Amino acid sequence: MKLVDALLLSLSLALMIVGIHQTVTQGVQASYAIFMFAVALLFWFQYRRMKRTEEPPVPKKKTNRGKKR
């Protein structure tokens, strides 16, 4: 997992927790925007993860290390 992916996932989790707290204290209307932002970050995380798995692996260059001629 790359740093950006880890940040996206943790930020979306933190926003979910903040949204739940806002829902309990102030109601759904006050926390709706926070939940939508958290869901958008989760979608972005999933998009990045799927895009990374679709890319073909880069072939490694062969080196002649250790071979004597």
Mean pLDDT of 9-21: 96
Please name the helix (run of DSSP H) or strand (run of DSSP E) that holds residue 42, with its range, or none.
helix 28-54
What dihedral do alpha carbons 16, 46, 11, 4 form, nearest 10°?
Answer: 180
Q: Which amino acid is at 51?
A: K
Average pLDDT over residues 24-33: 95
Q: Tell me: pLDDT of 18 over 70.
A: yes
- Model-level pTM? 0.72
Determine contact, residues 18/47, Cβ cutoff 8 Å. Answer: no
Considering only CA atoms, give the Rg of the chain. Answer: 21
